[in-house]
């Protein structure tokens, strides 16, 4: 049997990668470079530590992920022609999974098996939260799932022929002037010669530049992956926490601007590398965030010089 070819750390761009880089270059280094290879048995102590910390989730990220997974399961059932799941059944299954994961995280197993077990930020940093905070987290998940399954949006999607469905929570890439760009759409379907892209939100909605970059990236992806004209792409945000639907208008000019933004952002990231061709970097090349406020829920506090 031939030896397994080692994974290569290749440069790429995504909205989440860009956001972390803008917030704190050092945390960006920890996430994408310092932790690389931390899953290997031969990893050194520092690399392993960063890999464990990288895989932590705050309770807010965890609950949002559970809502997204529940919605994806409901949509998959529709695509397969199965009866839509009941809200009671979906909520029960989701909360049972969360209870098991919570116990697993609290047990402290995560550092031994960070890829297959949940590690909650609050447990890793020994934050003593009142029980009602955890209860509120579960209630938030339940409310979001019920809102989605009882929504006009879900009912409307159920009327779209499965043959017109495009993607459900698939991680895909496009090439933007030689840079691999990762995009993951919550859901998308064809609509005549156009496409409709949905994004589920489980927290606050905003009309910031960050949000518009996200939806412009989605529209750019649609023009490349499905050859849909820019003017035929609809991008819809459904905030299931607030039961609010917002349609974001993305123009051809915005798509041109986001291409430019991606290339500028990627160039700035590459400017911190020791070797662009081989995508290698050194920790001391990446500065800390200027504002300590961004550190509040940073996974890498245990490894950060600011908290040493």
In tens, the pLDDT along 212-242 reads 899 999 999 999 999 999 999 999 999 999 9
The answer to whether residues 239 and 170 belong to one domain is yes
The answer to whether residues 144 and 173 belong to one domain is no
pLDDT at res. 196: 98
The answer to whether residues 133 and 175 belong to one domain is no
Counted domains in the chain: 2
Segment 84-113 shows an average pLDDT of 96
Is residue 231 in some structural domain?
A: yes
Segment 82-104 shows an average pLDDT of 96
Is residue 255 in some structural domain?
A: no
Is residue 280 in some structural domain?
A: no
The answer to whether residues 188 and 88 belong to one domain is no
Is residue 259 in some structural domain?
A: no
Domain that holds residue 71: 27-151+288-307
Q: Do residues 181 and 13 make contact, with C-beta atoms less than 8 angstroms apart? A: yes
Is residue 19 in some structural domain?
A: no
Percent share of the chain, pLDDT over 90: 91
The answer to whether residues 197 and 145 belong to one domain is no
pLDDT(6) > 90: no
Interval 56-87: pLDDT, tens = 999 999 999 999 999 999 999 999 999 889 99
The answer to whether residues 166 and 68 belong to one domain is no
């Amino acid at each position: 049997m031939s030896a397994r070819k080692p994974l290569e750390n290749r440069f790429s761009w995504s909205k989440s990668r860009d956001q972390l880089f803008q917030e704190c270059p050092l945390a960006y280094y920890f996430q994408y470079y310092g932790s690389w290879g931390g899953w290997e048995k031969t990893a050194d102590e520092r690399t392993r530590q960063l890999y464990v910390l990288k895989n932590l989730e705050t309770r807010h990220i965890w609950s949002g992920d559970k809502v997204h997974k529940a919605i994806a399961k409901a949509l998959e059932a529709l695509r397969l022609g199965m009866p839509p799941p009941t809200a009671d059944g979906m909520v029960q299954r989701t909360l049972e999974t969360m209870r098991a994961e919570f116990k697993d995280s609290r047990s402290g197993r995560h550092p031994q098996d960070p890829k297959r077990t949940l590690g909650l930020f609050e447990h890793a940093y020994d934050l003593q939260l009142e029980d009602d905070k955890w209860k509120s987290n579960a209630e938030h998940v339940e409310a979001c799932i019920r809102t989605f399954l009882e929504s006009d949006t879900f009912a409307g999607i159920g009327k779209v022929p499965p043959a017109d469905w495009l993607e459900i929570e698939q991680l895909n890439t496009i090439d933007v002037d030689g840079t691999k760009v990762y995009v993951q759409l919550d859901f998308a379907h064809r609509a005549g010669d156009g496409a409709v892209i949905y994004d589920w939100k489980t927290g606050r909605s905003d009309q910031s530049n960050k949000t518009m970059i996200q939806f412009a990236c989605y529209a750019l992806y649609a023009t490349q992956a499905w050859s849909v004209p820019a003017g035929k792409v609809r991008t819809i945000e459904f905030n299931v926490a607030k039961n609010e639907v917002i349609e974001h208008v993305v123009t051809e000019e915005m798509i041109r601007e986001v291409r430019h933004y991606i290339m500028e952002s990627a160039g700035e990231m590459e400017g911190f590398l020791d070797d662009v061709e081989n995508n290698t970097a050194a920790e001391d090349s990446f500065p800390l965030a200027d504002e300590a406020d961004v550190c509040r829920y940073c996974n890498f506090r245990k490894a950060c010089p600011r908290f040493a």
